[in-house]
């Protein structure tokens, strides 16, 4: 199936928001941080649901779908989170044994970095796809699991992975069953109303986090996640008509940015601390903007080399690289 540019642009905006969200170290977060966290990870689950609907995944063999998900989600997680935990251990412990054991345990528990999202998406996708051919069972199971995922008290690390995935199933179903709302033409008046309602909801609900299962008011959380995703999709449809290649490029390489940006964050923070005396932290509210700009410049400029030599570690096929190369002359 031909790639849909507006979906890649939407993923590009979401991954940019994710990096921005990970670069603020100040305690008093600006409202843009609160707004980003209200939707940026649910957007990826909703996008999966939209793609399952467009690709008619329900007609495909379940074994084939599992194989694809292992290649594109679990393989990158196992490779890059292992490297990342070793990298963090070297930076933080100088070989201290206990730190090494703790960090490497995080790989088994599917935790400890921004890559928590990959196994959670894998589990949520398997749950959704196993019942996709029975609409009513699919919907009822998704609602039940979502309620459990939102309301269950904090448990073991492995249980937390499952509970995040249960919440993810809700958003996959929203994308699958309401996909036309996100991808069809839109009224500017409706968009303005949605923006106002989304900002109001995010302000009212405060800081939330899917990785921490912090939802505050669950109804408002789901509401703002859907509205925020709607806004991003309408922006991406608008930008698609204006040939915005950079966001599309980031969207096509979103998994790579997810896996690799943590390395750059740690290196920049170390250099900033050792050499410049925490200049970035002293920038206050501008810290995230400057930090994110540096990270995205580094990742964008190095992406052709990553695609050339490390494509296999992200579960990609060589023929997919040709499609990505078409946007590397940005």
Task: State the pLDDT at residue 95.
Answer: 45
Q: Please give the backbone phi and psi of residue 209, each rounded to the nearest 5 degrees, phi first.
A: -160, 120
Question: d(Cα 213, Cα 123) in Å, to the nearest integer?
Answer: 16
What are the two backbone dihedrals, phi and then psi, of residue 235, each rounded to the nearest 5 degrees?
-65, -40
58-76 pLDDT, tens digit per residue, is: 777 888 888 999 999 999 9
First to last CA, the chain: 24
Tokens representing residue 7 in the block = 């979906």
The whole-number pLDDT of residue 257 equals: 97
Supply the DSSP symbol for 182: H
C-beta separation of 183 from 233 below 8 A: yes
Q: What local confidence, expressed as pLDDT, does residue 89 receive?
A: 77
Residue 214: φ, ψ to 5°: -100, 105
The pLDDT, as a whole number, for residue 164 is: 96
217, exposed or middle or buried, with CB in 10 Å at 0-12, 13-18, 19+? middle
Closest CA to 39 of 238, 201, 269, 239: 201
For tokens 């997680």, name the residue: 77
Q: Tell the burial category of 209 from Cβ atoms under 10 Å away from its Cβ (0-12, 13-18, 19+).
A: middle
Which residues of the chain are under the pLDDT cut of 70? 1, 25-28, 93-112, 281-285, 318-330
- CB proximity list for 162: less than 8 A, separation 6 or greater: 123, 149
| 257 class by beta-carbon count within 10 Å (0-12 exposed, 13-18 middle, 19+ buried) | buried
């Amino acid at each position: 199936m031909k790639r849909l540019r507006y979906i890649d642009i939407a993923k590009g905006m979401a991954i940019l928001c994710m990096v921005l969200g990970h670069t603020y170290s100040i305690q008093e977060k600006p409202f843009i941080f609160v707004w980003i966290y209200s939707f940026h990870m649910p957007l990826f689950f909703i996008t999966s649901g939209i793609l399952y609907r467009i690709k008619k995944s329900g007609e495909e063999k379940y074994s084939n779908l599992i194989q694809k998900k292992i290649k594109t989600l679990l393989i990158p997680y196992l490779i890059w989170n292992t490297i990342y935990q070793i990298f963090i251990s070297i930076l933080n412990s100088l070989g201290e044994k206990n730190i090494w054991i703790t960090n490497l345990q995080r790989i088994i528990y599917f935790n400890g970095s921004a890559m928590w999202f990959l196994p959670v998406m894998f589990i949520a996708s398997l749950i959704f796809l196993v019942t996709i051919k029975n609409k009513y069972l699919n919907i009822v199971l998704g609602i039940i699991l979502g309620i459990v995922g939102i309301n269950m008290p904090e448990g073991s690390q492995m249980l937390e992975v499952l509970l995040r995935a249960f919440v993810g199933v809700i958003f996959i179903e929203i994308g699958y069953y309401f996909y036309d709302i996100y991808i069809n033409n839109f009224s500017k008046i409706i968009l303005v109303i949605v923006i106002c309602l989304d900002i109001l909801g995010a302000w009212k609900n405060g800081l939330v986090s899917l990785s921490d299962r912090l939802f505050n008011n669950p109804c408002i959380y789901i509401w703002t996640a859907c509205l925020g995703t709607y806004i991003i999709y309408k922006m991406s449809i608008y930008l698609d008509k204006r040939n915005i290649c950079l966001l599309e490029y980031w969207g096509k390489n979103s998994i790579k940015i997810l896996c690799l940006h943590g390395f750059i964050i740690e290196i920049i923070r170390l250099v900033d601390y050792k050499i410049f005396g925490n200049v970035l932290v002293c920038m206050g509210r501008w810290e995230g903007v400057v930090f994110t700009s540096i990270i995205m410049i580094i990742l964008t400029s190095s992406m052709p080399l990553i695609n050339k030599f490390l494509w296999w570690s992200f579960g990609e096929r060589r023929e997919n690289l040709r499609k990505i190369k078409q946007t590397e002359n940005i």
